[in-house]
Structure 1
Amino acid sequence: MDERGVVHVVEGSCIDEIYDALAKRLLPTATTTSNSNYKYLVALAGPPGAGKSTLAHEVVSRINKSWPEKSTSLDSQVKPSDVATVVPMDGFHLYRSELDAMEDPQEAHARRGAPWTFNPSRLLACLKSLRSQGSVYAPSFDHGIGDPVEDDIFVNLQHKVVIVEGNYLLLEDGIWKELSSLFDEKWFIDVDIDKAMHRVLKRHISTGKPPDVAEYRIEYNDRPNAELVMKSKNNADLVIKSIDF
């Protein structure tokens, strides 16, 4: 919410209208600072299957495409650096070896994706370093091996807008609350849970899970996680009304 407690709502007749509106909202923040370390941090939250990753990358792509028109570079032959980038929360999953070391490793692996299977303290430290130093290396996540990949994402000095996307960025519990308070804007994709779970089911099946295994994982893990995430919508400054891609 802004200073007046107003939650802004973004919706459109098609998904491209939403992407364009969000990019237009953020573009001025990339053009109005001379501080080389400046970063405008946006949290993009929502349940599994909400389309967070797609939305984040589409908005960033539009900002970077529009940026040369705003750039005051004297040399027209030099392509301006990108000014927006995405940092997914996926890279801050606990390693499989860390799940193995838990009291109930089988449960830990079955519930992977729940808040307690992430390392929010590490994400907080990463973003604080980005704030203070202007650049940072962040981990990505390799779904093929099921573990983070260290230092795979470089946020550099030229990046002024950083969209961090993940399920739990607006939670109010413990370290999550401190993490949430670090962002300049907090966005939430509001989506029907059944529709989101259908998308996640298709995703599970596309990666080779048998339909019955995929359905069990939805009910045992993904849906409870989604219901928890939906409760954090009240902590958003801006709510994005989901429509089909």
Structure 2
Amino acid sequence: MTPAQLAATIRAKAQAQGRFLTALAGPPGAGKSTLAAELVAALGQGAKAVPMDGFHYDDAVLIARGARARKGAPDTFDVVGFRHLLTRLRTEDEVAIPLFDRDLEISRAGADIVGPDDRILIVEGNYLLLNEAPWPDLAPLFDLTIWIDVPEAELDRRLMARWAHHGKTPDQARAWIDGNDMPNIRRVVAGSRPADLVIRHG
């Protein structure tokens, strides 16, 4: 299914409703941010992406908790704060949302605005369908769920390229993927609930 076809499906399901929240989930490296941007472009005015990554705990918090080396794991996100945001998006006309700056490795509060004309929201993140508490609390807040299925070898290739782009040496990238990304990939692939739609890439 092309982004245009998927956008048409979302648009059809979103008719005659207020805010329509689509969960776009998949493992690290699956291309969620890219597909979310393509869907927003195809949907046009009134569509907006809302990334889960804005709810990363800050490095200072992770260091204090001894979790910096696991940044990106399910417990390194403010899930309750994210749920509150989704609840607000269903009921409030204008909501400020945080965005994660991967170059700075920090979340920027109030970095974007979902306005009253933004009716179709593409919410993207690794763990939106994870069947481990407290993530299932998000389920009632989504109108449609989509899973991006990518072979593990292709995820590995993409993540090597991602970390090289962000300045890691090949050895550093390999160590981070093997010690952090790949366990998260396997955890989310094995532990996520079935989605309404599955998009296969790679």
Instruction: Quote the residue 1:84 is aligned against.
Output: 47
CA-to-partner distance for each residue in 1:115-171, whole Å, 9 max, x for gaps?
Answer: 111111111000101112133111001122211100112111111110110000001
- Cα offsets for 1:41-72 (capped at 9, x unmatched): 011110111111100110110110xxxxxxxx
Q: Is the 8 A contact 1:49 1:196 kept in 2?
A: yes
Residue 196 of structure 2: aligned partner? 237
Residue of structure 2 in register with 1:21 after alignment: 5
Partner of 1:44: 24
Deviations 1:23-51 (A, max 9, x none): 11122355534xxxx21001111011111
- Distance in 2, matches of 1:198 and 1:122, equals 32
| Secondary structure of 2:134 counterpart | helix
Q: CA RMSD in A?
A: 1.4
Amino acid at match of 2:162: R
1:86–1:165: 8 Å Cα contact kept in structure 2? yes
Matched AA of 2:3: Y
Q: TM-score, normalised by structure 2?
A: 0.95
Mapping for residues 173-184 of structure 1, pairs under 5 Å:
173-184=132-143
**SS, match of residue 235 in structure 1:** coil
Q: 2:39 maps to which residue?
A: 59
Match of 1:203 in 2: 162
Alignment gaps of 5+ in structure 2: none
1:135 aligns with 94
Alignment of 1:75-114 (within 5 A): 82-102=45-65, 104=66, 108-114=67-73
Q: Return 227-236 or 111-120, whichever deviates more.
A: 227-236
Correspondence for 1:217:
176
Gaps of 5+ in 1: 1-10, 12-17, 65-81
CA distance in 2, matches of 1:225, 1:46: 11
Runs of 4+ in 1 over 4 A off after TM superposition: none
How many positions carry a matched residue from both structures?
Answer: 202
Q: Give the deviation of 1:188 after TM superposition.
A: 0.3
Aligned equivalents of 2:114, 2:183: Cα separation in 1:
33
Partner residue of 2:84 out of 120, 125, 138 = 125
Cα pair 1:44 1:169 within 8 Å, conserved: yes
Identity across the alignment (%): 40
Q: Contact conserved, 2:26 with 2:127, CA < 8 A, in 1?
A: yes
Distance 1:186 1:172 in 2: 14
Between the aligned partners of 1:152 and 1:227, the Cα distance in structure 2 is 31
Contact 1:29 1:161 in 2 (8 A): no
Q: Which has the larger radius of gyration?
A: 1
Cα shift at 1:241: 1.1
